[in-house]
Amino acid sequence: MIFSPPLRGRVASALPPLLAALAVAGALASSPASAATVEGRVSLPATRSTPVVNQRYEIVTKSGVLSTNPPVAVVYLEGQFPAPATPPVASMRQKDLTFLPSLLPIQAGTRVEFPNLDDTYHNIFSFSPAKRFDLGRYRAEDRPIPSQVFDTPGLVTLRCDIHEHMRALILVLATPHFVVTDADGRFRLTGLPAGRYTLKAWIDSKTTRTQAVELPATDVPVRADFP
């Protein structure tokens, strides 16, 4: 033994709790079933009409057909969660004169890249209090891809200074636990810590629904609907 006798006693007394902690950590790591899951459905508003591209002063236009973005909601778990150790990276693309996705939830501290996948300029900007920026005009081949870090929770409305019909939202959240519903409003939020929390469904800038949930340390899904 390399330790001297007094230190050897201290190590011996510290071993049992250390081993216990390691056992718990190992159990948690090897058993994802202990992370809670919540699932349910959010009632979504009616589908919005697809925008119309302004082509009045283009001498040649081949666009005009935009993909439809059905309304979706963001479901997230509100609570005190640590900030990410390394800033996550997300992407808000511009493709066929449309933002993809049209609604992007992120955790505060996330860097969002704005790749231009069209063969024309885009000029993304935001005047929202949560993040004010203007990327200027940039092309598909420009590197590095323009990006911004979103530090402040809140709603950020993105627009393009060139294509007036383009609009998208970034919902900056103080939680790492969020999910976007499908077009029918269904969601499944996994990997949640056990405990009592508030579950929120963000539907639009004026509508956020709330309900309390108690998440067990089992893999049995908890049902939470937002009618």
Partner 1 sequence: MNARSPFPRRWLPGARRAGITVLVCAALATTRAERRIDDYLDRLEDLLTISAHEGRARAHLSGTLELEGYRTQLPAPGVFETRDGSLLETRLTVFLDSQLGPHAYLFAQARADHGFDPGERGAELRLDEVALRLAPGPRREFNLQVGRFATVVGNWATRHLSWGNPFITAPVPYELLTGMWDTEAVRSSNMLLQWAHLRPGQSAQTTAIEKSLRLPIVWGPSYADGVMISDAFGRFRYAVEAKLGSLSSRPEAWRHSREQRHHPTFSARLLWRPDTAWQFGVSGSRGVYLREFAQDTLAAGTGRGDYRQEVVAADASYAWRHWQVWAEVFGARFTIPRVGNAETLAWYSELRYRFTPQWSGALRWNQQVYANILHRGVPTPWGQEVWRIDVAPALRLTPHTQLKFQYSLQRGDSAPRDTTRTLATQLTLRF
List contacts with partner 1 (CB under 8 A).
48-62, 64-65, 68, 119-121, 125-127, 132-139, 157, 159, 164-165, 167, 205-206
Residue placing its CB nearer to partner 1 in the complex, 71 or 193: 71
Sort 66 into a burial class: Cβ within 10 Å, 0-12 / 13-18 / 19+.
Answer: middle
**Best CA proximity match to 80, nearest among 174, 172, 152:** 174
Q: Which is nearer to partner 1, 49 or 80 (CB)?
A: 49
Question: Residue 144, preceding bond cis, omega within 30 degrees?
Answer: yes
Q: Which of 96, 36, 27, 87 is nearest to 68 (CA)?
A: 96
The CB-of-144 to partner 1 minimum distance in angstroms stands at 13
Report in angstroms the alpha-carbon separations of 54 from 58, 117, 148. 9, 19, 28
Give the helix/strand (H/E) hosting 175. none
Q: Residue 158 or 192: which CB sits closer to partner 1?
A: 158
Distance CA 61, CA 59 (A): 7
* Residue (132 or 188) nearer to partner 1, CB: 132
Q: How far is the CB of 16 from partner 1 (least distance, A)?
A: 59
User: What distance in Å separates the CA atoms of residue 223 and residue 60, rounded to the nearest whole number?
Assistant: 52
CB closer to partner 1 out of 98 and 126? 126
Least distance (Å) between residue 65 CB and partner 1? 5
In whole angstroms, the minimum distance from the beta carbon of 62 to partner 1 comes to 4
Nearest to 90 by CA among 194, 205, 176: 176
Minimum CB distance to partner 1, residue 177 (Å):
27
